[in-house]
Structure 1
C-alpha cells in the first residue's frame, strides 16, 4: 500500500505531461477521474476502435447469433468513430498522432481470439467487450468533462451515449448462456 502511494506521488509530481501519460498507462487517472491529455485520448480511442473492429470481424465469423449481431453493430459504429477521429486530426482541429497499429496488449487479445473457437471464443470475446466498453465510457466521460481541446471534447460528449449503449449491450451479451448451456 505504501509503495502504491509513493508511486502515485511520484507520478503526480513528475510534471503535467508525464503525469497525464503515466496516469493513463497505470489507470491512476481513471481512478481519480482525471481527464487524459489530448494525445493520450486520441491514441487510446484509435487503438480501442481498431480492436473493436478487428475483434468484431472475428466474431462475425466465429461467434454465436447474438455475438454476430452485436459484432456487426460494433464494426459499423467503431468504423464511424474512427473516421470521425481521423477527420478531426487531419483537419488540424486536433494536434495528435493517430496510431496505425494495435498496442501489444490489444494485439495479444486479438491473437487469443484468432486461436479460440466455440465457448472459449464466446467467453473471451464477451468479456473483452465488457471490459473495453467500460474503459471507453470512462475515457470519454473524463475527456468530455475536462479535456483540453474544445472540438475533441465536444465530439467525446456526443459520442458517449453510443458507447454507454454499447456497454449495456455487451453486458447483456456476457450474461447470455454459452453454447451448450441451457438457459434457466
Structure 2
C-alpha cells in the first residue's frame, strides 16, 4: 500500500512537468495561455529560428523581390536571437539543451518549400511565415509574462516587439501578392 501511494505521489508530482511538455507540443499551452517550461521555450525558440533562417535562405534564391527583402531581415534578426539564446545557455544563465535539427513539422514545411517554385513557393512561404511568427509571438508572450527564468523572461519580453514587427511584415507579404 505504501508503494502504491508513493508511486501515485511521484506521478502526481511529475504530471505538471510532463503535461507542460505535452501541452507545448500539442498547442494546448498556447490555447490556454500557459507559459512553457524553460526547456520547452529554448527548444521551440531555437527550432523557430532554425526554420526562419533556412526558409529565408531558400527565399533569397526562389522568392519575389519583396520576399528576398523580407528574408534578408529574417536572417539578420533570427541570427541575432539564435546567438542570444546560445550565449545564455553556454553561460549557464539558462539550463537547457539547444536542439541541432528541426522537428518533423518544421522539416516537412522546409522540404515542401525546397520542392516548390514560382507561385507555389510564394504562397507556401508567405503562409509559413505568418504561421511561424504567430506561433513565435505566442511563445514569447507566454514566457515573458510567466516564465520561470528571470533572465530569459526579460529577454523574451525585449524580443517581442521585433517578433510582432516580423508578423506584420509577413502578413504584408501575402497582401501585396494578392
Give the deviation of 1:21 after TM superposition.
Answer: 0.3
Instruction: Output the TM-score relative to the length of structure 2.
Output: 0.91
Give the deviation of 1:13 after TM superposition.
Answer: 9.4
In structure 2, distance between residues paired with 1:158 and 1:49 = 16
Residues 1:170 and 2:178 are matched in the alignment: no
Give the deviation of 1:14 after TM superposition.
Answer: 6.8
Structure 2 residue aligned with 1:5: none
Structure 1 residue aligned with 2:68: 68
Contact preservation (8 Å) 1:20, 1:29: yes
**What per-residue deviation string (whole Å, max 9, x for no partner) do you get for residues 16-72 of structure 1?**
101110110111110110000000000000000000000000001100000000000
Other structure's SS at 1:101 match = coil
**What per-residue deviation string (whole Å, max 9, x for no partner) do you get for residues 70-110 of structure 1?**
00000110000000000000000000000011111111111
Structure 2 residue aligned with 1:93: 93
In structure 2, distance between residues paired with 1:163 and 1:104 = 23
Structure 1 outlier segments of 4+, above 4 Å = none
- The count of corresponding residues between Structure 1 and Structure 2 is 167
| Pairs within 5 Å for 1:16-35 | 16-35=16-35
In structure 2, distance between residues paired with 1:135 and 1:129 = 10
Higher Rg of the two aligned structures:
2
Q: Unaligned regions of 5+ residues in structure 1, if any?
A: 1-11, 179-184
Q: Unaligned regions of 5+ residues in structure 2, if any?
A: 1-11
Structure 2 residue aligned with 1:9: none
Contact preservation (8 Å) 1:13, 1:19: no
In structure 1, distance between residues paired with 2:14 and 2:86 = 30
Instruction: Output the TM-score relative to the length of structure 1.
Output: 0.88
